[in-house]
Structures are given as structure tokens and as C-alpha cells.
Amino acid sequence: MKRTIAMTYGPAVLMILVFALVSCGGGDVAVVYDEISGAVSVSENSPTDFSIKATGPKSIGYAWVVEPASAGVFTNGNRSQATFTPAEVTSDTVATIKVMMTANSMGPWVASKEIAILDTDQQPNAAASADRTKIGHGESVKFTDESTDPEGDNDIVKWGWDFSYEEPDGFCCDCEDRNPVQTFDTPGIYTVMLCVTDRSGISDMLQEPIVIEVIENYAPVITSVTRNRTTSRMGNANEAVALALDFSDPSPADDVHTISWSCGHGSFDDPSIQNPVWFPPDYEVDCDISVTVTDMFGLSDNASCHQWVTSLPVLINNSAPGNLIIPNDFDTVFSGTINPANWVFPNDAADGNVVFMSFWATWSSGCVQGMPTVLSVNDMFSVNPDYRHVMINESEPVEDVFSFIYHNSYDAMYWALDEDTSYFNTANGWNGDSNFLPQHLLFDRDGRCRWSQTGKLTSTTELEGYIGGLL
């Protein structure tokens, strides 16, 4: 095997190395290459091209590397010309770039070059933003660092925030988080300054501080949620619910409020207004209608009301005659005659009662025979605080009524006496103006009659389902 050794005449003189290798087949392989071309000094983070000129009878493979490997990276490192991107340095640093060449599986032949990676010491550019610049007292602001650095954003290694910056007093670091969240408890104007520092110790501050306006603010308070009815017939737009919202907010005067009504059933004409209309769904359900009031600072209050949807229609009249009410402290009326026409339904914000009412008399066989069946309904629902069961006797002497109830050991929530049939004469319109006894009436929480029957009650299955639906 023969070698031709390259002779060096000086650093600027072409260095030629010629290798001749006699292969097994008798052919020679020779590679001739120049020194590496490119700058002898590069700035950190600045991509620079390096190349080498090499010739040979066979195709040549290239592999560019740098020592130490932490000094940077090559792209297109398998070509005669490659791009070197120096790493960031804190001071001027010497590195060696090398290219290894192979031909016909022979080699490698290595050319190298020393270069200087220069620390450019460029100043970072401080920048930041806030998610809100106007808040209520006690609220928080999220600040986001958006600073950049010509040497690479990773060159920034330190952040300092002053949440009450005043130029005459200078910068005072309150927080070193990169993206802090700061709570402002006291109303006022706050100027927030950011100072960033890079690896070389060079700093920069915001050209203008971020101004945060903190206003004395309190959450809105919902004072009432009312509606014109608590019970609606399913799928009936005529029994839609008119809702009304009242709320207050003590400050500030220019506060803006967002209203949002919601319900898992039915629909609204506009859920974003203060007094919307809610339309019942086309199925039976009882559900909550909720509302949230949110101010411009995100503070809110919420409330709800309960709504019942039934399959039962409203019968003839729209409300109970005399606005019937059952006093909660009334157990039995035997001390005298009480006219139920003076009672009213308790239709307050706490929702009224579901009332089952039966007119009866001891002289009516239908009443006497059906009494156990009627009172079985009372046994089933009397434990429900929203249920009222009323037995109204038609103009019999109180002694006879008392004797009948006592000897039969009958029990109901309320026994009442309609002494002159005035209440019966008003109420019987729900049964087609029938004058027969017994008569049974079922009222929803709004005092609207939803079901009625004249004659002896022989089965309670259907009635119990209706009562359960209204409750």
C-alpha cells in the first residue's frame, strides 16, 4: 500500500491530502480536500454556514460535528456545506468544528477548524400583559411575561415584579414569579412594573407600567325571584310562566350585569333578560328554574324557584272561590261553624299547598259508603308538608257531624262545616254545577282546580297519581 502525505505550507496555504489505496480489485481510491471554509468567529445563537471542498473518484459522505457537543448544533450535517448554530454562551468560548469524510466505506478523513463563539451581551426587551386592568377590590389579576431577548428568549433567567411602582421611589421587587397572580384588596390606582434580567446580568424594564384600576365593589344580591304560577300543564303555552327577578348592587354606579336563566326542562323566550317567560315541556316533571346575576367583575349571586308540570288541565274557573286557605293550626272545627269562604290559599314565595277537598253529608249514602276510601288518600299523603286534606260538611248540625266522625274514628287533616252551603254553591262549578254529593276537587299550588269528580269514590289509584304529580 502506498500513501502520499500532504505537506503544509502555512495556515493560509491550500492543504492537499491525497490518499491512494489499492483495493482488492486493484483499483485506487483517492480523496483530495481543502481546509474548512467559514468564519473564524461567530455570534451566539447566530446560524453560520461552513463548507469543505473535496474530490474523489467515488461518492463522498460527510458528517459534521462540534466539540464540545454543547457548543451548538449542525443542520444539513451530511452535506459538504452545513449550517452551524452556536449555543448561547456567557463569555467568549472556543470550539472545534470537524467534518469526517468517507468514500467507498474507507476513511474517515477528518478536517477540523477552531472557531470563537462570541458572547454578544445584547439587552433583553421587557414586555408583559394583564388579563384585566379594571377589577373590584379583593379580586386578582393574572400577569403574563411576554419579554424577548435577541440572544434567545431562554437567555432571560430572572423576573421581578413591583405591584405598586412609583418612579421617584424606584423599583422594588414584590414577586419573582414569571407569570404571577396578584390580589388587590384596597381600591385605588396601581402601577405595575416588570424588570427582566438575562444570563449576562443585563436588565430591562417595561417602557410604561401596567395600570390597574381597583374599584370598591360588592357582588350583586338577588332579592327575589317570583312567577305568576307554580304549576303548568305540559306542552301548553297558555300556561307558560312569567318570571320576575329583582336584585340590587351597591357599587359601582357603572356596573354592568349579565343575567342568565337556566332549567333542565322547557324553554325560555330569552334567558338573558330580567323578566323572561318559561314554557313548560311536553311531559310531566318538577324542576328547578335557576338564575344567575353576574357583574362586570365576575362577582355573582344566584337563586332558583321550583316549578311543577302536570298533565292535568285547569277546569273552568281559574282560581279557588274565596281564595281558600287552611290555617296550619286548625285541626278540627267543632267549636262552632266556620265558613271556608274566608280562607285563602298560601300562595307566597315558599309555594302553596296541594289541596284535596271533599263535600259530604251524613244523609248521603254515597258519602258514607265512600268515606273510608276518601280518607285513605289522607293516610297516604298527610305526612307531606305541602299537602292539605279538607273535608267540608254541608250544613248539618255540628253535633251530628261530630258524632259521626267520633263513632267511626275517622281522621283527616281538616274538618269544616259549610253552614249555609254558600261555599258549595260557589265551588260546584268545577263539577258542571252539579248539586249532588259527594263532590271531590283537587287544587294545585296556585289554587287552580285540576281534577274533580261527583259521586262515590270507589278507587283512589288515579287520584293518588294526580296528587303525587302535583306534589
| 248-301 confidence digits (pLDDT tens) | 887 777 778 999 999 999 999 999 999 999 999 999 999 999 999 998 878 899
Q: Which of 430, 431, 427 is nearest to 418 (CA)?
A: 427
CATH topology classification for 37-118: Immunoglobulin-like (2.60.40)
- Give domain limits for the chain: 37-118, 128-215, 221-310, 340-470
What CA–CA distances, in Å, run from 316 to 222, 428, 441, 448? 36, 11, 12, 9
What CA–CA distances, in Å, run from 465 to 235, 287, 377? 19, 18, 11
Q: 425: Cβ–Cβ under 8 A, 6 or more apart, which residues?
A: none
CATH topology classification for 340-470: Glutaredoxin (3.40.30)
Residue 73 or 21, more confident:
73
The edge-to-edge listing of strands for the beta sheet with 106-118 is: 41-43, 106-118, 93-103, 60-67
Orientation angle between helical segments 461-470 and 365-381, nearest 10 degrees: 40
Q: 128-215 has which CATH code?
A: 2.60.40.10
pLDDT at 333: 44
Q: How confident is the model at residue 351 (pLDDT cuts 50, 70, 90)?
A: low
- The 10s digit of each residue's pLDDT in 428-443 is 767 777 788 999 989 8
What's the rounded mean pLDDT across residues 183-201? 92
Q: CB–CB of 432/444 below 8 Å?
A: no
pLDDT at 271: 96
CATH of 221-310, one of 2.60.40.1080, 1.10.760.10, 3.40.50.300, 3.40.640.10: 2.60.40.1080
- The 10s digit of each residue's pLDDT in 213-227 is 998 888 899 999 999
CA–CA gap between residue 221 and residue 250 (Å, rounded): 9
Q: Is residue 112 pLDDT above 70, yes or no?
A: yes
**Are 37-118 and 340-470 equal in CATH topology?**
no
Q: Is the dihedral of CA 393, 396, 398, 402 positive or negative?
A: negative
Q: How confident is the model at residue 29 (pLDDT cuts 50, 70, 90)?
A: low
Q: Is residue 320 pLDDT above 80, yes or no?
A: no
- The 10s digit of each residue's pLDDT in 444-456 is 888 788 898 999 9
